[in-house]
Amino acid sequence: MCLAVTSSHSNLAETDPAVAEAIAGEERRQEENLEMIASENHVSEAVMEAQGSVMTNKYAEGYPGERYYGGCQHMDTVENLAIDRAKELFGADHVNVQPHSGTQANMGVYFATLEPGDRIMSLDLNHGGHLSHGHHVNFSGQFYEVEQYGVDPETGYIDYDEVAARAAEFDPHMIVSGSSAYPREFDWERLGAIADDVGAYHLSDIAHITGLVAAGVHSSPVDHADFVTGSTHKTIRAGRGGMILTTEEHADAVDKAIFPGGQGGPLMHNIAGKAVGFGEALEPDFVDYAERVVANAKTLVDVFTDAGIQPVSGGTDKHLLLLDLRESHPDLTGEDAEDALDDVGVTVNKNTVPGETRSPFVTSGIRIGTPALTTRGMGTDAMATVGELIVERLNNPDDPDVASEVRAEVDRLCAEFPVYE
C-alpha cells in the first residue's frame, strides 16, 4: 500500500469525517472566540506542520547517539536542535526535551532526587500553586510528605520570611517554586538561599513563563535552582510538551529518570515542534511579543481596577491575572463568570483564590491570560477594549441585550485579529 502525503485535511475527511468535523469545529472556535486561558496559546503553522509530520512514525528510545533502535539519524538531528536551541534560550548546561508535559518533567526531577516519603515544600494550590507540586490528588502528594506555603492574605504576595521559618521547621528535601496562578515574580535567589540553608534541592517550575524568561522580560531561575522545569506551549509557542533544565552534575540522573525511568519512546513529532518553536523564540521579534504579553496583562489590570474588580495582589508581573470576585460580585461564582463569558465568545477559566471558601468546581475567581490574544496581534488599545467587554458582561451576566452587544464586539475583534490568515 502506498500512502500519499498531504498537508490538507482531505484524507482525514474521507477516512474519518467525524474527527475531521471536530477538528474543523475547533479551528472555527479558536478563530471566532477570544482565548484568554493563561495556559493556552496559538502555535505557528510551521510548528503544527512539524508536529503532524512523519516523525510520529518513528521509535527513538534513548538519547541522541545512544538509541535502542536503528534508523534514528534524523531523530537525532531534530532532538539535538531542540536541545541546543533551548540551551541558547535559557543559558542552561543540560536540557532534556523528552518529557511529554510539564508535570512529567516535574516527575522526572522528583524521581531523580527523592525517595518515597521524602519531604517537599511548595506553594499551595489555592494560592496559585500547581497539582504536581504536592497536591493530594496528584502522585506528588501521594508519594511524598508535603508542606505548603501561601501568600500574605493582606498583600497577595509570598512572605519569604515566613517561607524561611517554615522551611527551617519542616526540613524539606526539596523546595518547589513556580505556579499556575500566582501573578507576581518569584524571588528565585531568596528561595535558592532558603533551600541552601536547609540542605534542600530547589526545583523551579516555569511552565507558565518559559517564553517570558527566554525573552528576558521575566527573571530567570536558572542560576538559583538545581532544576528548572517547564512546559513548551504556554508563552513560548513550541507545541505541547515539557522540558528539564539542569546542571551537568544532575544530568545523568535526570535523563535516566525520564528514560527509562518514567517514559518509553519520546514523541519525536512533538520534539520536532519544540525545535521549531524554540527556533522562532530565538528571533528578535519574539522579545517584542513577550513584552507585549506583559504590557497587555498590565492593561487588563488597569481596566479591572478602575471598574472596582480587584486582581489578587493588586496587579501582575507576567502574562496572567487572577480576579477575586467576592467583593465586587459576591453572588457571581467563578463558574458562573466563566459560563457568562463563554456565552459571548471570551474563554477564561474559573479558578480558586487565596482564602477560597467555594468548591474548586465552583470557585470565587477567574484566571485571565494574554498570550493567545497577543499572538493574534492585539496591543494595549485592543486589550483595553477586551477588558471593558469582560467588565460589561460580568456586571450584567443575565442581560441578553448586553450579551448580544458584547458578542458583536468580540466578532469584530476576531475578524480584525485573525489567528491564521
Residues 125-168 pLDDT 10s: 889 899 999 999 999 999 999 999 999 989 999 999 999 999 99
> Which DSSP letter does residue 310 get?
P
**pLDDT > 80? residue 203:** yes
**Residue at 97: amino acid letter:** V
CATH superfamily of 292-416: Aspartate Aminotransferase, domain 1 (3.90.1150.10)
| Mean pLDDT value of segment 265-288 | 98
Confidence of residue 246 (pLDDT cuts 50, 70, 90): very high
Judged by DSSP in three states, 335 sits in helix
Give the containing element (helix H, strand E) for 175: strand 174-178
201-205/320-324 β-pairing = unpaired
In the chain, where are the structural domains located?
54-281, 292-416
pTM, to two decimals: 0.94
Work out the mean pLDDT of the chain and round it to a whole number.
Answer: 96
> Which DSSP letter does residue 311 get?
B
Confidence of residue 10 (pLDDT cuts 50, 70, 90): confident
320-324/227-231 β-pairing = unpaired
Q: Read off the pLDDT of residues 294-324 as tens digits, 9 standing for 90 and up.
A: 999 999 999 999 999 999 999 999 999 999 9
Domain covering 54-281 in this structure, CATH number: 3.40.640.10
Q: Are 318 and 300 in contact (CB under 8 A)?
A: no
Q: Is 239 left (phi over 0), alpha (psi -120 to 50) or beta?
A: left
**pLDDT > 80? residue 29:** yes
Q: Are 50 and 238 in contact (CB under 8 A)?
A: no
Please list the residues that pair with 147 across neighbouring strands: 121
| C-alpha cell recorded at residue 73 | 539519524
Instruction: Report how far residue 103's alpha carbon sits from residue 172's, in angstroms, rounded to the nearest whole number.
Output: 20
Grid coordinates 500574605 are at which residue? 152
pLDDT of residue 9: 59
Instruction: Report how far residue 162's alpha carbon sits from residue 104's, in angstroms, rounded to the nearest whole number.
Output: 29
pLDDT of residue 354: 92
Please, is 412 exposed, middle or buried when counting C-beta atoms within 10 Å of its C-beta (0-12, 13-18, 19+)? exposed
Instruction: Report how far residue 183's alpha carbon sits from residue 205's, in angstroms, rounded to the nearest whole number.
Output: 14
| Mean pLDDT value of segment 370-378 | 98
Q: What is the CA radius of gyration of the chain?
A: 22
Angle at which helix 268-281 crosses helix 73-90, to 10 degrees, equals 40
Give the containing element (helix H, strand E) for 16: none
**pLDDT > 90? residue 8:** no
**pLDDT > 50? residue 196:** yes
**Greater confidence, 30 or 125?**
30
| C-alpha cell recorded at residue 321 | 491575572
| Mean pLDDT value of segment 176-195 | 96
Q: Read off the pLDDT of residues 389-416 as tens digits, 9 standing for 90 and up.
A: 999 999 999 999 999 999 999 999 999 9
pLDDT of residue 421: 80
